[in-house]
Structure 1
Amino acid sequence: MSLAQISAFKSSNLGANESPFQIVRPKSTNNRNSRRARWVSPKAAVIPNFHLPMRSFEVKNRTSTDEIKSLRLITAIKTPYLPDGRFDLEAYDALVNMQIENGVEGVIVGGTTGEGQLMSWDEHIMLIGHTINCFGTSIKVIGNTGSNSTREAIHATEQGFAVGMHAALHINPYYGKTSLEGLLSHFNYILPMGPTILYNVPSRTNQDIPPPLIHTLSTTHPTLAGIKECMGHSRIQTYTHSNITSWSGNDDECHESRWDHGANGVVSVASNLVPGLMQEMMFEGRNAGLCLRLLPLMKWLFCEPNPIGVNTALAQLGVVRPVFRLPYVPVCLEKRMEFVEIVKGIGRECFIGEKDVEVLADDDFILVGRY
């Protein structure tokens, strides 16, 4: 507690035996009225800064922004579920382990692919903490703590760093869009908390984060690690020329963005399935042949809005249970059959898991609305 807060506390004149809550009874001889009490706000409520803020300025996060900038391959990790819709942490741990074993350097926890939008904040922070506790020394854990509410984004980011995440991922406020000045203010509140990757995906937010805004933030906030950019090669090139770190947010463009336009790497959905091949493509130089080989898979994964494709694929590989939290449902049978052929074309040994790939029937899937 700071000196100012201690002074404020003492000035409230609360004695050791005095409750901060007061019950004031009206002066009435009427027994019925005398039993009524009027609640008076505790004095603490009107003393500025009486309550200790949640935010701590102690340096708990020892991860430097440069460590985050150095990452080449980051997986937007899938969140598996049990039949009742709760997290399947056993399957999740196996999935993260397979990422580590295949050279993935970081995971986004609770992002779009991980269905953070379908989680309560308690679930969200728990999963970030669990990932740090189990894998934090082997892989960088980046928690998606973004929100279209600045208040929620601040609170979630405080909690994320408190449980040990290495960096935060933040999207611009969606649906209830704001002005460019509002965007700037929103990020100005978020960025001082720790290493942060901003995420620009207008197809989901319906609002672009323009490069001049990113340039402004990069000059004022050393904690800005970079931007996950979904607006194509020219935008990546813009950041490369400005010495701002960027990651491709599009699997089908990441090879060219990495080797021809200066992207640092990729935040990948496909690496949930083929982490070893994605690691090869991001680390071992230009490989147009490998890119061409993986292109059918990458396009298939986005035949429906993400994460529908990757959820279906992992279930058919036998890596996760075929459980979907609504409103997501599996791709149609024709597409499920197509995925099996794609796996055979690339080679089952290139995919995670040990079971044979199979076409699941509609009845094999469990759709959970309340969980």
Structure 2
Amino acid sequence: MALPTANPGFRLGCQESPAMGLRSAPRLALRRPGAVSGHRSRTGRGKFPVASTSLDDYLPMRSTEVKNRTLTGDITSLRLITAVKTPYLPDGRFDLEAYDSLINMQIEGGSEGVIVGGTTGEGHLMSWDEHIMLIGHTVNCFGTRIKVIGNTGSNSTREAVHATEQGFAVGMHAALHINPYYGKVSTEGLISHFEAVLPMGPTIIYNVPSRSGQDIPPQVIETLSGYPNMAGVKECVGHERVKCYTDKGITVWSGNDDECHDSRWKYGATGVISVASNLVPGLMRSLMYEGENALLNEKLLPLTKWLFCLPNPIALNTALAQLGVARPVFRLPYVPLPLEKRIEFVRIVEAIGRGNFVGQQEARVLDDDDFVLISSFL
């Protein structure tokens, strides 16, 4: 049965949320890999705009201090990265206690990295203040035990640059960058967008045309692969695209849980950036580390397909609530899965084995009125 948007069984919260603006400074021209220092070369896309700014007056947002930065190779070696969920309190604020518990479960289950504030973590529903705070909190609490990859991408290059500067300033190990969504751009525009953020630190580029509305073609990735900070690609297009990159020595992670086993063992992917590992990190680690395992992959397929029966993270949010790992609180426009799908999840848990899932409580079917839907929040 479908859940109507205005189902009276769901409780609505209503608190106001302040808007946040972003500023950017003029940027120095970026050099392509191999360019000679001090040489102002003009590319087909033109230079980054600095002509109107006197160099004597220009104050770059760059520190000359040596940074304790992660090497790109420390990111390219990761096989299991969890796109982690952000849990909420009933008033819509972050539930940091539940979040910390979930991160600990990922570490104990063998995940080597987390994407903070990605699609699964609902970064698109956060203010930038919330976003950077959560990245900094994750680094502060877990940065010595797991790699923290902050989603600081945006459809605005200015916002992507500003957020990435802030993310690395609070200590994230790498950045995740999607291509500019909705406002589709040219191939040259895609390259320029990523060139603006790559100098700041290790970067994973995220290609998910079903969400962004535009594919990142191999030409773009191959052009950017010469940058030392280019860690690799989270690729959601499929096996053939994965093979296209691995044949060229470009690191690629599968962005599809239901395809990640074959992408890893048959097409050369380094690993997976996973939604399912929020729930079964130990099994996903086995899938990425212990060689081809068709039986385990088949056992997990009902779960991975269920997780994407509606757009992510609707199913994951529902699942973690039914496992007692997160409160049943949704920031709108997300609402829980319908009842029949909630029942189906409990059956999947029983089939795979409750001991393989995160949390200690038994999986249970929640009623409609157990969920809280938040339309505005602090």
Give SS of 1:329's match: coil
Paired residues for 1:40-79 under 5 Å? 50=57, 52-79=59-86
**What is the aligned-residue identity percentage?**
74
Does structure 2 retain, via aligned residues, the 8 Å contact 1:55–1:158?
no
Quick one: structure 1 residues 50 and 165, their matched pair in 2 at CA, closer, same or farther if it must change by over 3 Å? same
1:22 corresponds to: none
Q: Which TM-score applies when normalising by structure 1?
A: 0.86
The residue number in structure 2 matching 1:143 is 150
In structure 1, C-alpha distance between the alignment counterparts of 2:61 and 2:123, rounded to whole Å? 23
Corresponding residue of 1:243:
249
SS in 2 for 1:168: strand
Counterpart code for 1:95: L
CA distance in 2 between counterparts of 1:153 and 1:69 reads: 22
Partner in structure 2 of residue 349 of structure 1 = 355
Q: How does 1:195-344 map to 2 (within 5 A)?
A: 195-219=202-226, 221-344=227-350
Specify the code of the residue in structure 2 equivalent to 1:179. Answer: S
- 101, 118, 122: which one aligns with 2:125: 118
Whichever residue aligns with residue 309 of structure 1, its letter is: A
Q: What is residue 100 of structure 2 aligned with on the other side?
A: 93
Structure 1 segment 1-40 matched on structure 2, within 5 A: none
Describe the SS at the equivalent of 2:97: helix
What per-residue deviation string (whole Å, max 9, x for no partner) do you get for residues 125-163 of structure 1? 000000000000000000000000000000000000000
Q: Which residue of structure 2 lines up, in the alignment, with residue 368 of structure 1?
A: 374
Distance in structure 1 (CA, Å) of the matches to 2:223 and 2:201? 17
Question: Quick one: structure 1 residues 47 and 244, their matched pair in 2 at CA, closer, same or farther if it must change by over 3 Å?
Answer: closer
Query: Is the aligned partner of 1:185 residue 2:192?
Result: yes
1:51 Cα shift? 6.7
Unmatched runs of 5 consecutive residues or more in structure 1: 1-45
- Classify 1:152/1:61 alpha carbon distance in 2 versus 1 (closer, same or farther; 3 Å): farther
> What is the distance in 2 between the residues matched to 1:240 and 1:286?
18
Which structure: greater helix fraction? 1
Q: What's the Cα RMSD here?
A: 1.3
The answer on 1:169 being equivalent to 2:176 is: yes
SS in 1 for 2:225: helix
Q: Deviations over 1:5-58 (max 9, x none)?
A: xxxxxxxxxxxxxxxxxxxxxxxxxxxxxxxxxxxxxxxxx9766474333353
Q: Is the Cα contact below 8 Å between 1:228 and 1:247 reproduced in 2?
A: yes
CA–CA distance in 1 between the matches of 2:312 and 2:56?
Answer: 43
**How many residues are paired up?**
326
Does structure 1 conserve the Cα–Cα contact (< 8 Å) formed by 2:92 and 2:374? yes
On the 8 A contact 1:191/1:224 being kept in 2, the answer is: yes
SS of the residue 2:333 aligns to: coil
Asked whether the equivalents of residues 191 and 223 of structure 1 are also in contact (C-alpha less than 8 Å), the reply is: yes
Q: Distance in 1 between matches of 2:61 and 2:101?
A: 34
Check whether the contact 2:69–2:201 (CA below 8 A) recurs between aligned residues. no
Residue type matched to 1:269 in 2?
V
Task: Name the CA distance, whole Å, in 1 between partners of 2:201 and 2:207.
Answer: 19
Q: Displacement, 1:218?
A: 0.6
Structure 2, gaps ≥5 residues long: 1-52
For residue 94 of structure 1, report the CA deviation from its aligned partner. Answer: 0.2
In structure 2, distance between residues paired with 1:332 and 1:49: 62
Question: 1:300-331 CA deviation, whole Å, 9 max, x = no partner?
Answer: 00001000010000000000000000000000
Query: Residue type matched to 2:268 in 1?
Result: G
CA distance in 2, matches of 1:89, 1:100: 16
Return the letter of the residue paired with 1:352.
V
Q: Secondary structure of 1:313's partner?
A: helix
Q: 1:77–1:113: 8 Å Cα contact kept in structure 2?
A: yes
Q: C-alpha offsets along residues 148-203 of structure 1, whole Å, 9 cap, x if unaligned?
A: 00000000000000000000000000001111111111011111110000000000
| CA-CA distance at 1:61 after TM superposition | 3.9
- In terms of Rg, which structure is larger? 1
Secondary structure of the residue aligned to 2:163 is helix
Q: Deviations over 1:105-128 (max 9, x none)?
A: 000000000000000000000000
| Higher RCO (CA < 8 A, seq sep 6+) | 2
